[in-house]
């Protein structure tokens, strides 16, 4: 069975409460965007060890059960969002790979924090983490209800993060919320001789960061003149600051940079931290 590469919003489902929350969030997002919603339920049939004569029957049973889960999710979403007409596929494939493949031509991929297969103690499952690290489109990991937030929040590290700011601006406009851009940086000044010299160097460094933030945000502000956009820089621990700030956000947006040629991480340390500890849904945007 080949998965169709749909446009619009793609969401991974597996019958778990976390996936149901993600599917409902994805449906609301598809409605706001005026686009299609496609559900993907992946089943790893090749990992089962059974006698050869029983293998086909077991695989067939797994796929039938998966189709029932998918049909139930489609029916529930269709009843709650009649204008959407959601579609779906059961895919005999690794779940993370299935969602990444399905989202190749999508505007957005959505996943829950964990599925049935994860340990209850984990804050974020490996499937969701792998989708965030490898998808070619923005990925939202759903936790909580974004309607409770006051604004959309986006973390900025450098000028190339303007793509994440543009994504956040569109999300804020669609949700009718203000946008808060936060550039958190860690001072590089250390062990300088004399307090006056340290103050001078910190002041210069702070000026550079304010200029970076202005260059990153001003073009987005010009493209969205009606958007209530506030930008600020802050010297401190990046991950902890973003996690704390997410308590009042409807959505936290973080950029994902291409990994370094040798041993580079696909997700930064800060992105890992907010995916595990944020108080709201998190969007990971490749830039």
**Could you give phi then psi for residue 110, rounded to 5 degrees?**
-130, 135
Q: Tell me which DSSP letter residue 250 carries.
A: E
pLDDT more than 70, % of the chain: 82
Q: What average pLDDT does this structure show over 152-171? A: 96
Position 202 scores a pLDDT of 66
CB atoms within 10 A of CB 208: 12
Picking from 109, 87, 88, 114, the residue whose alpha carbon sits closest to that of residue 99 is 109
Place of tokens 């990991």: 141
Q: What average pLDDT does this structure show over 172-193? A: 83
Position 121 scores a pLDDT of 40
In angstroms and rounded to an integer, the radius of gyration of the C-alpha atoms of the chain is: 21
The CA distance from 260 to 232, in Å, is 28
CATH no. of 147-286: 3.40.50.620
Q: How confident is the model at residue 150 (pLDDT cuts 50, 70, 90)?
A: very high
Position 203 scores a pLDDT of 74
Q: How confident is the model at residue 1 (pLDDT cuts 50, 70, 90)?
A: very low
Place of tokens 């995916």: 275
In this predicted structure, the answer to whether residue 173 has a pLDDT above a threshold of 50 is yes
Position 223 scores a pLDDT of 97
The CA distance from 210 to 189, in Å, is 17
In this predicted structure, the answer to whether residue 263 has a pLDDT above a threshold of 60 is no
Give CATH 3.40.50.620 domain extents, the chain.
9-142, 147-286
In this predicted structure, the answer to whether residue 138 has a pLDDT above a threshold of 80 is yes
Largest CA distance in the chain: 80
The CA distance from 219 to 221, in Å, is 5
Picking from 22, 4, 2, the residue whose alpha carbon sits closest to that of residue 14 is 22
**Token pair of 148 as six digits:** 């409770």
Q: Which strand (E) or helix (H) includes residue 224? A: none
Model confidence, pTM: 0.86
Q: How many Cα atoms occupy the beta-carbon half-sphere of 65 within 13 Å?
A: 11
Q: Which strand (E) or helix (H) includes residue 72? A: helix 52-80
In this predicted structure, the answer to whether residue 96 has a pLDDT above a threshold of 60 is yes
The CA distance from 165 to 81, in Å, is 29
**Could you give phi then psi for residue 67, rounded to 5 degrees?**
-65, -35
Distance set, CA 78 to CA 52, 87, 198 (Å): 39, 9, 61
CATH no. of 9-142: 3.40.50.620
Q: How confident is the model at residue 220 (pLDDT cuts 50, 70, 90)?
A: very high
């Amino acid at each position: 069975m080949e998965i169709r590469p749909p446009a619009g919003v793609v969401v991974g489902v597996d019958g778990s409460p976390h996936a149901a929350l993600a599917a409902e969030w994805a449906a609301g997002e598809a409605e706001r965007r005026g686009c299609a919603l496609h559900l993907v339920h992946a089943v790893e049939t090749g990992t089962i060890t059974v006698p050869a004569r029983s293998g086909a029957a077991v695989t067939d049973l797994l796929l039938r059960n998966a189709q029932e889960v998918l049909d139930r999710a489609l029916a529930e979403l269709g009843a709650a969002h009649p204008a959407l007409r959601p579609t779906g596929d059961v895919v005999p494939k690794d779940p993370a790979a299935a969602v990444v493949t399905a989202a190749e031509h999508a505007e957005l991929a959505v996943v829950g924090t964990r599925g049935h297969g994860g340990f209850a103690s984990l804050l974020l499952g490996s499937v969701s983490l792998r989708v965030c690290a490898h998808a070619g489109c923005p990925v939202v990991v759903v936790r909580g209800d974004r309607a409770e937030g006051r604004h959309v929040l986006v973390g900025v590290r450098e000028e190339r993060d303007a793509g994440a700011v543009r994504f956040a601006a569109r999300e804020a406009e669609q949700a009718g919320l203000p946008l808060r851009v936060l550039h958190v940086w860690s001072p590089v000044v250390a062990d300088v001789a004399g307090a006056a010299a340290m103050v001078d160097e910190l002041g210069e460094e702070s000026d550079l960061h304010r200029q970076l933030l202005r260059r990153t945000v001003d073009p987005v502000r010009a493209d969205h003149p009606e958007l209530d956009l506030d930008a600020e820089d802050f010297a401190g621990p990046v991950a902890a600051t973003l996690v704390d700030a997410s308590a009042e956000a409807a959505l936290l947006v973080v950029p994902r940079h291409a990994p370094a040629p040798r041993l580079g991480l696909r997700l930064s340390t800060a992105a890992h931290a907010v995916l595990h500890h944020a108080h709201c849904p998190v969007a990971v945007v490749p830039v």
